[in-house]
Amino acid sequence: MERPKEAFKLEAKVHVGKLLKHLKGAGISEGVIFHNGGVILNRYDTDVELPFRQESNFFYLTGVEEAGFNLLIDVASSKSILVAPNIDREDAMWRGLPDPLDILRKQYDVDEVIYFVEFFKKLDELNPKTLFVFNNTDCKVLGDKYHSILDKKTAVWPLWDARLIKTKQEIDLMREANRISSNAHIQLMKDARPGMNEGELEALFAYETSRRGCKHQAYGCICGSGTSSSILHYTRNDKWTNKEDPEQLVLVDAGAEHHCYASDITRTWPIGGKYVGEAKIIYEIVYEMQEAVMQAMKPGVPWENMHRLANEIGCKGLVKAGLLHGEIEELVNSHVPAVFFPHGLGHLIGLDVHDVGGYPEGTERIQAPGIRYLRFRRNLEVGMVVTVEPGIYFGQVLVEDALDDDSIKKFINLEALERFRKIGGVRIEDCVVITENGIENLTKIPRKLSEIEALMDHSSKN
């Protein structure tokens, strides 16, 4: 792990300013925003502490990664007041003394820092007519006095709109999360050998990211080998790769957090390092799906159009491979490609791997196979960060359901299907930021089949 050149400090007041701008755009110019950070929780009915990770909205507005803090923001003055937990000298025996107020004031981008013992005095001084909170704000700390002025709805969408478009610092943090996670994926591909357990691959990824400063994974790691690679959120990660089958595919969907900002990356590769047969055909189809989308992405493009583009490219590829037959338009209109590309193309990403604000108020999901799982429907804007993650899978349930449906079955080459089913699935996923002219890919891992094979070439290492 490299020692940072200077202490990290989130530009929290910039984020507060964005929130207040959206709030004032909704006609709100006074009142107080109250929110609390996360607290340390214990494992079921024990005193064993669970790993702590800060609540995302609180981190966004404060930059605090420690437990037990609260926040007040005066809307009229834009003043942010961080409320630190009281010093508990008995607790300090176990955890050590916390930083004093003067250190906290320098460490975090806020206007004032007080201890919780002063919280109600400060709130009385602000004397708000309305106290705005968010969806998961724990209001019990307020007691009964302020419940009559609570507003639990008005500030939610302004906060989500603020988080939607990333600042330069946020993009830099996500770039670093992607750099570290990309290097871990690359190391995994270099170290992979037939006969390894999926759990060992997961552990190696966690090790590579942790030793470079990423304390948390952004989500549960997916390491699916063989037919398990067709299970979209497979996290058992307990099977052994086939020692006798170096052509077996392994799908690794894993990404670490850097100061709470997520990465989300997927690569699918043969455990022995060489794509052959049906696996090679499907990989190239998925690569073409992702490449076509990345070339078409730019500000103003509706995200559902990008999903439809990937869906059509995938359909054409499956027809060319002999798995499907029929006219492309009829296949798409009959939702046949959704049997094999059953999820949305990608999602917003930021402080949460599936970030907030995907469906603006009044925007409904498109109720059709595959695209109904699209996690956001917006026109792309400069500063959005999204994942691009097409895939082709031969999932047991979806394939069996398709074969039971004559309106779908008639388009499928059953002999070819039996040959392809054994590979499981392929997904390629990168994190990209929308720029003025297109995108910047934050993920730094080879995507081309030939590049991955070169990376995994073990001949010179044995």
Active site residues: 47, 233, 253, 264, 343, 347, 354, 389, 393, 427, 429
Residue 159 makes CB contacts below 8 A (sequence gap 6+) with: 19, 22, 57, 60, 134, 356
Half-sphere exposure at residue 165, Cβ-oriented, CA atoms within 13 angstroms: 15
Joined tokens for residue 28: 């709100």
Give yes or no for a contact between 341 and 391, defined as CB atoms under 8 angstroms apart: yes
Q: DSSP string covering 363-391, please?
A: PPPP-STTGGG-S---B--TT-EEEE--E
Report yes or no: 37 and 51 within 8 Å, Cβ to Cβ.
no
Q: Are 188 and 202 within 8 A, CB to CB?
A: no
Distances (CA, A) of 206 to 187, 255, 316: 11, 9, 37
Cα angle 259, 261, 267 (rounded to 5 degrees) comes to 120
For residues 322 and 126, give the distance between their C-alpha atoms in angstroms, rounded to a whole number.
Answer: 70
- How deeply is 255 buried, as exposed, middle or buried, from its count of CB atoms within 10 A (0-12, 13-18, 19+)? buried
Residue 322 makes CB contacts below 8 A (sequence gap 6+) with 413, 416
Pairing relationship of beta strands 391-393 and 385-388 according to DSSP bridges: unpaired
Helix runs in 51-155, H state only: 56-62, 89-95, 101-107, 119-126
